[in-house]
Amino acid sequence: MKRNKTIVRPPSMRQKMINVMYIVLLAMLAMNVSSDVLNGFAIVEESLIKSTANATLQNENIYREFAAADSVNHEKVGQWYSKALYVKQISDSLYNFANELKKLIVIEADGKNADVNNIQKRDDLEAANQVMLHPTRGNGQKLYDAINNYRDNILEMVTDPIQKSIISNNFSTEVPLKAGSLGKNWQEYNYENMPVAAAVTMLTKLQNDVRYAESEVLHTLMNNIDIGDLRVNAINAYVIPTSQNVVQGNNFTARIIMAAVDSTARPAIYIDGEKIDSDDGWYQIPATRTGDYTLSGYMELQSANSVIRRDFSQNYSVVSPLATVSATMMNVLYAGYDNPISISVPGVPSNMISATLKGGNGTLTRNGTGFIAKPANVGQDVVIAVSANQEGRLQSMGEYTFRVRQLPDPTPFIEYKDENNNTQRYRGGGVPLVKRNLMASDGIVAAIDDGLLNIEFRVLGFEATFFDNNGNAVPELSDGPNFSERQKRTFQNLGRGRRFYIQRVRAVGPDGIERQLNTSLEVILN
């Protein structure tokens, strides 16, 4: 009888050195974004690209071996070849998505003719924010979901616990406690105010991790076949828990099986020296206290000539009820405004989570997989109470307090269409405005537009102040949010290089509060 020996391939010295360099550079980045640090990222980027290319070539060779074996004996190799093709599909999907994000970040920094391999603005701190954290793009959330899905699918096909741990750590999306306490989610922790060089290198490392994980799964699948036969007689004991983290008061549930067993001969299971009564391998332990525990024992299977015994051991943790509540776009909640809220509980589907707003200061409503919080009063904290449906009963997962502030004042803009019919916002700041664009504009708009928030305000009126040839100020009132006829006639008579000011802008936000903006908009004609 053949026995399959799983070969554990430790990370290469080159891979270990790359990982160490990556950690050191991140630490240096936290202290100062110098040219030396940015050059260091370029060195790591080059090493990662070479390592990834080598891994890609090795993986392609394995796919060719699978194809050749399948053509010889599809009946026995087919199922493993199908799994290999599935691994290729999900790996290429995440790899290509990371590549697309790298291009978007570099284009955001260097423009449409940007080259990922020759980044000009490596220290740009806004490009990654715009691509990964802008709420209308949602790329950070998409990458977060893609990494989680990939990790979960890949780990289902990895049997070696060491490789499971390595892959799980490489694709971890947990936020450190310090960052989590500040209300930051995974994408904000990794990409907020991150230089382009660092953001691109992080995505390249993700691509390298994808090819590494893909390689490990392919080698695991390859262990099940040889050139002309299928090895199905390897016998090992496994504990498959529904979750390694158990909420206090619930049960730890696991399935204990022996791989490649005959369906007509069930193995005997012993835990703490006692045989358990389980025909299909399911076993439960009440989780009454928090802490770390180990489920251990052995299995016995009667073969033709002997009794085969395999030991097993599985660690699991019992944790206190815990939920994660974070404001999707900000660290505080704004009164009178629909604040998107993300609420999650480890191991609990989103449709099994419920939340309420305590104290009567506003409302909290479900919106798809998330929630919308709308506080009513500024200065009065809101408390969000989270519950989860655990095994048919509602269990409290904690309460979380947020401060409530008034929406900040918006910024006034002149909105117009450029030659490509794209909407542009003129912000002043010493930049000239083409006169025909001014004449084609209807009036003034106002909005909070800071890269994370994009909140429109309704302009009620404003004043345009011009200056005559003697330097006297000549104010002209608007027609609501639009330029008045007198203002437009004055625009027509202004020559190149002349300037005027938009002042005393009155606007109303989604919170219903009318305010007069303290800022003015300087307009210089070109």
Cβ neighbors of 441 (< 8 A, separation 6 or more) are: 414, 415, 416, 483
Q: What share of the chain is helix, strand, coil (3-state, %, to 5)?
A: 35, 30, 35
pTM score over 0.75: no
Say how far apart CA 244 and CA 240 lie, in whole Å.
9
Locate the domains of the chain by residue range. Answer: 13-222, 237-319, 324-405, 411-525
Say how far apart CA 478 and CA 487 lie, in whole Å.
7
Asked whether the beta carbons of 134 and 452 are under 8 A apart, the reply is: yes
Class of domain 324-405: mainly beta
Which among 235, 224, 219 has a CA at the least distance from the CA of 9? 219
Q: Which two tokens stand for residue 332?
A: 């505080």
DSSP 129: I
Which among 329, 453, 498 has a CA at the least distance from the CA of 402? 329
Q: Which two tokens stand for residue 478?
A: 């608007």
Which among 256, 260, 259, 284 has a CA at the least distance from the CA of 270? 256
| Beta bridge pairs of residue 271 | 274, 297
Q: Is the dihedral of CA 93, 95, 101, 103 positive or negative?
A: negative
Choices 3.90.1170.50, 3.40.50.700, 2.40.50.140, 2.60.40.10: CATH for 237-319: 2.60.40.10
Instruction: Give the phi and the psi of residue 502 in degrees, each rounded to 5.
Output: -95, 120
- Residue located via tokens 């707003």: 357
Say how far apart CA 266 and CA 203 lie, in whole Å.
47
DSSP H or E segment with residue 299: strand 291-302
One pLDDT digit (tens) per residue for the chain, 526 residues: 444 444 556 666 656 665 655 555 555 544 445 565 666 667 777 878 888 888 899 999 999 988 988 887 787 788 899 999 999 999 999 999 999 999 999 999 899 889 988 888 888 889 889 999 998 888 999 999 999 999 999 999 888 888 889 899 989 998 877 654 567 888 888 888 889 888 888 899 999 999 999 999 998 888 877 543 433 445 667 667 666 556 666 677 777 776 654 554 578 899 988 898 876 778 888 877 777 788 899 988 765 456 778 898 887 777 666 666 666 555 689 999 999 988 888 777 888 899 999 888 899 999 988 899 999 999 899 999 999 987 778 888 888 889 999 999 999 999 998 888 898 999 888 889 999 999 999 999 999 987 667 899 999 999 999 998 888 999 999 999 999 999 999 999 998 889 999 999 999 999 999 999 998 999 999 8
The predicted structure's pLDDT at residue 314 = 80
Q: What is the DSSP string of 220-234?
A: HHHTTB-SS-B----
Task: Work out the widest C-alpha separation in the chain, in whole angstroms.
Answer: 112
Q: What is the DSSP string of 425-443?
A: EE--TT-EE-HHHHHH--B
DSSP 462: E
The predicted structure's pLDDT at residue 31 = 46
Burial of 68 (0-12, 13-18, 19+ CB in 10 A): exposed
